[in-house]
Amino acid sequence: MEERKLDIWIFNLEIAEGRSFSGHKESLDWLASQGFAVIPDIIMAQTADQVWAGIQHIADIRYSLNYGLDGAVVKVDDLQMRRELGMTSKVPRWAVAYKYPPERQETVLEDIVVQVGRTGKLTPLAILKPVRLAETTVSKATLHNQDFINEKDIMIGDAVVLQKAGDIIPEVVSVVKEKRPADARPFEMPRFCPVCGAPVATDDGGINIFCTGESCPAKDARGIIYFASKDAMDIEGMGPSAVEALISEGYIKDVSDIFTLKQHKERLIEEGIIGREKSVSNILAAIDRAKENGLNQLVTGLGIRGIGKQTAKILTSRFRSMDQIMAAKPEELMELQDFGETTAGDLVNWFEKPANRELIEKLRAAGVRMEMEEVQAAGDQRFAGKTFVLTGTLSRYTRDQASAIIESFGGKTSSSVSKKTDYVLAGEAAGSKLTKAQSLGVAVISEEEFEDMIK
């Protein structure tokens, strides 16, 4: 906490053995008396008017506080009344949040530059005259694509209104047309990649454009940075500066080269481009550990368009090895949750490219794990040989969590209902899978019944 400059305010007391409280404020005061830092700006209100006045007051002092906030929470103080009010299936009936509208600021859009992402996507980025907005200085904002620029009629030199989406990411809301200078210039996305000069092409929808260069350095560097990032292979110490240094010194050209770095240990230490002996040893050890990562992390790291952290998990829960993924047909992939025609097609195309197949073989040869770890056969195997299909929205688990529970008891999950399905676990708003299960006479269980089964 010290190092990262993190701080905390306690906003609730769940349980204190041997003590009972009648009100929320009383419990917070007690926490404060025990030395806990408790949120200081609490307003006690007796009437709806007082609640509203409190919300207004917090809005007024919002930007003078030494912490950020995006709303106020109105709660019932009386703990007995809270128990009587209870919960809906998702939220308590005794608390509600009020969200403040985001702060807006005007500034000048001084230039538009084009960035090339790890998938080769070209994104226009607004370079702004720095302005204070919701407690940070903003000097850049994404303009997404040419359509966004056209719709908002954005020109270089324009005065623009900014706000932060979700109070985090700055976005251009509109142009102040009255202030458009005479020398304002329209912007067109380039027809060639600003990094490697290869022609660009649009994707299916025609909204986004991509660099077609086979070996675009922008794609390479960003791709490798992404591969090593927390979201993917999580290799500690392999951040952007280490990756860029290793690329420019010729140590790595693609992600598989990461795993051969240890052959250059002495030289790396001598040259010091990624630190001295200790850092080099630490990074090499982190690389070694990453070889044992889950297949989902590896698949995420490949940076295939449409395959992020979540989709990679879904993919590897069905296709348990790299070979199975490479052999998967588009129609099989489209049975998976979140896999549409485009994603399935992009995945198949990616693995059809010889250069990508070669990359996979290099990773395999380097000892990177290409299979999902099979669940240990030890322990409670009550679902052994049973296949579950999940459908609809579960209230207590994500689908991933429910699948993990089923697998931990030796069962399997499948994405489509057939005669071989043993149970269909149906959440809220279950659709065609439920109908199919009923027509095939497959047992349909509710979330409550599932809970009983796993007790």
Residues found near Zn ion in the complex (CB under 5 A):
193, 195-196, 198, 211, 213, 216
> Which CB, 54 or 213, lies closer to Zn ion?
213
The residue among 195 and 224 lying less far from Zn ion, judged by its C-beta, is: 195
CB of 208 to Zn ion, least distance (A): 14
Name residue 133's beta-bridge partners: 136
Asked if residue 23 lies in contact with residue 77, where contact means CB atoms within 8 angstroms, the answer is yes
Min dist. Cβ of residue 196 to Zn ion (A): 3
Work out how close the CB of 209 gets to Zn ion at its nearest, in angstroms, rounded to a whole number. 11
Where helices occur in 353-411 by DSSP H, the ranges are 354-365, 399-408
For Zn ion, the closer of residues 171 and 254 by Cβ is 254
Q: What are the CB-based long-range contacts (under 8 Å, 24+) for 121-124?
A: 121/208, 121/209, 121/210, 121/211, 122/189, 122/190, 122/193, 122/194, 122/200, 122/208, 122/209, 122/210, 122/211, 124/149, 124/187, 124/189
Which class for 375: exposed (0-12), middle (13-18), buried (19 or more C-beta within 10 A)?
Answer: middle
Helix (H, G, I), strand (E, B) or coil at 30: helix
| CB-nearer residue toward Zn ion: 120 or 411 | 120
Give me the residue label for tokens 């009629």.
153
Of 197 and 379, CB closest to Zn ion: 197
Phi (first) and psi of residue 234, to 5 degrees: 50, 55
Smallest distance, Zn ion to C-beta of residue 217, A? 7
- Nearest distance, CB of residue 212 and Zn ion, angstroms: 8
Tokens (6 digits) for 188: 């067109």
The least CB distance from residue 122 to Zn ion, in Å, is 8
Using alpha carbons, list the distances in angstroms from residue 185 to 38, 107, 154, 157, 325.
Answer: 52, 16, 9, 7, 48
In degrees and rounded to multiples of 5, residue 64 shows phi and psi of -100, -5
Strand partners, 200: 211
Pull the structure tokens for residue 339.
């896999």
CB of 188 to Zn ion, least distance (A): 18
Nearer to Zn ion, 126 or 193 (CB): 193
Of 223, 412, 220, the closest CA to residue 304 belongs to: 223
> Which of 453, 428, 121, 143 is CA-nearest to residue 305?
121
What are the DSSP E strand ranges found in 134-195?
136-142, 159-165, 169-175
Query: Smaller CB distance to Zn ion: residue 216 or 261?
Result: 216
Residue 409 tokens read as: 């008891």
Residue 349 CB, nearest approach to Zn ion (Å):
18
Closer residue to Zn ion in complex, CB, 124/411? 124
- Smallest gap from Cβ 121 to Zn ion, in A, equals 10
The CA–CA distances, whole Å, from 344 to 167, 273, 390 equal 34, 40, 21
Question: In the bound complex, what is the minimum distance in angstroms from residue 195's beta carbon to Zn ion?
Answer: 5
* 197 vs 272, beta carbon nearer Zn ion: 197
Nearer to Zn ion, 189 or 434 (CB): 189
